[in-house]
Structure 1
Amino acid sequence: MKIEIDEKNFELMLEYEQIKKRIRLLAIQMNVDFENRIPVFIGVLNGSFIFLADLIKEIHISSEVSFVKVSSYEGDKSSGKIKKEIGLQMSLKNRDVIIVEDIVDSGKTLEYLLEMIKKENPASVHVCTLLFKPESLKVKIDEINYIGFEIADEFVVGYGLDYNGLGRNLRDIYKAVKA
Structure 2
Amino acid sequence: MKQVIVGDLTFDLFISANQIKERTTEMGQKISETYGDKKPVFIGVLNGCFMFMADLIREVDIPCELSFVKLSSYQGTAYGQINELLGVGIDLTGRDVILVEDVIDSGNSLKYTIEALEKLKVKSIAVCALLLKPSCLLHTFDNILAVGFEIEKEFVVGYGLDYDGLGRNLADIYQCAPEQ
TM-score (norm 2): 0.98
For residue 168 of structure 1, what is the aligned residue in structure 2?
168
Write the deviation string for residues 50-97 of structure 1: whole angstroms up to 9, x where unpaired.
Answer: 000000011110000100000010001111x10010012011111000
Write the deviation string for residues 109-167 of structure 1: whole angstroms up to 9, x where unpaired.
Answer: 00000000011111110000000000000111112121000001110000000000000
Paired with 2:32 and 2:168, the residues of 1 have a C-alpha distance of 28
Q: What is the deviation of 1:18? A: 0.4
Query: Identity, % of aligned pairs?
Result: 46
Q: What is the deviation of 1:45? A: 0.3
Write the deviation string for residues 14-61 of structure 1: whole angstroms up to 9, x where unpaired.
Answer: 000000000000011110000121000000000000000000011110
Residue 35 of structure 1 aligns to a residue whose secondary structure is coil
Paired with 1:135 and 1:122, the residues of 2 have a C-alpha distance of 29
Paired with 1:70 and 1:22, the residues of 2 have a C-alpha distance of 25
| Mapping of residues 24-173 of structure 1, within 5 Å | 24-79=25-80, 81-173=81-173
Task: Give 4+ residue runs of structure 1 displaced > 2 Å after superposition.
Answer: none
Residue 163 of structure 1 aligns to a residue whose secondary structure is coil
Paired with 2:90 and 2:47, the residues of 1 have a C-alpha distance of 19
| Mapping of residues 11-26 of structure 1, within 5 Å | 11-26=12-27
Paired with 1:46 and 1:164, the residues of 2 have a C-alpha distance of 12
Aligned Cα RMSD in Å? 0.6
Paired with 2:76 and 2:110, the residues of 1 have a C-alpha distance of 19
Structure 2 residues without counterparts, runs of 5 or longer: none
TM-score (norm 1): 0.98
Structure 1 residues without counterparts, runs of 5 or longer: none
Residue 20 of structure 2 aligns to a residue whose secondary structure is helix
Paired with 1:77 and 1:142, the residues of 2 have a C-alpha distance of 26
Paired with 1:73 and 1:152, the residues of 2 have a C-alpha distance of 18
